[in-house]
């Protein structure tokens, strides 16, 4: 039976808008729920609003810094904390761990590294329900497995996907029934804004449609919405 328990909830606390947005999209594409805060005050407000399974906490914040906030959280709750910092001084890392942080990641970092750290901390602490993390998707009799990165056709045939195609398909499945503009798709895929003549995403959509056998004159899965973008029109079921 498919488990429907909510995915682990990650609170991202960072004053850099681009980092918050990048992490939000990346973690949600990998099955996590996310909430964002930009300083200590907004972080505490989010903690009062509901349950959080793990906090990604930047060290350098306006007002109260990450060290002080880590100390405050530890005095009130036992929530796993991963600290982020642009500093490379091991003294800061040790100090953060002594205050109760569960792990420490230096900027700049690869989102995949942070994802691995999050999964590791959740496993070690038992926070969240790891069985509820999305493991794959079903749509129009297609099956996509996230751990194996495998796409299986309605006939049971494994369809090879390039890394860029896999990434784009996951984005469409995670945002099914929502129209995604070209600019939004480029932001989600590359973490940057689109240029005025950037049509690279159209090429990638065309390639993905070809993989899905959906490249006719009237695509039924990934539809074009005139002057708006693209939408995954199929009903999508998350597998846990």
Which fold would CATH assign to domain 9-132?
Rossmann fold (3.40.50)
For the chain, what are the domain ranges?
9-132, 136-239
Q: Please write the tens of the pLDDT for every residue from 180-238.
A: 998 888 877 765 444 444 577 889 999 999 999 998 788 999 999 998 999 999 998 88
Residue 52 and residue 45: Cα distance in Å, rounded? 12
- Domain formed by 136-239, architecture: Orthogonal Bundle (1.10)
| Per-range mean pLDDT, top range of 91-105, 109-123, 144-158 | 144-158
Which pTM does this prediction carry?
0.55
What the block records as the tokens of 172 is: 């469409």
Confidence tier at 92 by pLDDT (50, 70, 90): low
Residue 172 scores a pLDDT above 70: yes
Q: Does 9-132 match 136-239 in CATH topology? A: no
């Amino acid at each position: 039976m498919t488990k429907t328990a909510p995915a682990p909830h990650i609170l991202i606390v960072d004053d850099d808008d681009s980092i918050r947005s990048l992490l939000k999209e990346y973690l949600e594409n990998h099955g996590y729920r996310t909430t964002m805060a930009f300083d200590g005050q907004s972080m505490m407000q989010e903690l009062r609003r509901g349950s959080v399974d793990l906090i990604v906490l930047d060290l350098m914040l306006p007002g109260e810094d990450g060290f002080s906030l880590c100390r405050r959280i530890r005095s009130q709750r036992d929530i796993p904390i991963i600290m982020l910092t642009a500093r490379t001084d091991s003294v800061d890392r040790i100090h953060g761990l002594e205050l109760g942080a569960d792990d420490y990641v230096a900027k700049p970092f690869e989102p995949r590294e942070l994802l691995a750290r999050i999964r590791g901390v959740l496993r070690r602490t038992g926070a969240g329900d790891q069985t509820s993390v999305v493991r794959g998707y079903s749509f129009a009799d297609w099956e996509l497995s996230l751990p194996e990165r495998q796409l299986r056709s309605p006939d049971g045939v494994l369809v090879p996907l390039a890394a860029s195609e896999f990434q784009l398909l996951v984005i469409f499945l995670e945002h099914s029934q929502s129209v995604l503009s070209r600019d939004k798709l480029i932001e989600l895929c590359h973490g940057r804004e689109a240029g005025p003549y950037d049509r690279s995403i159209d090429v990638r959509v065309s390639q993905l449609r070809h993989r899905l056998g959906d490249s006719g004159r009237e695509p039924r899965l990934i539809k074009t919405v005139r002057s708006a973008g693209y939408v995954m029109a199929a009903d999508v079921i998350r597998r846990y």
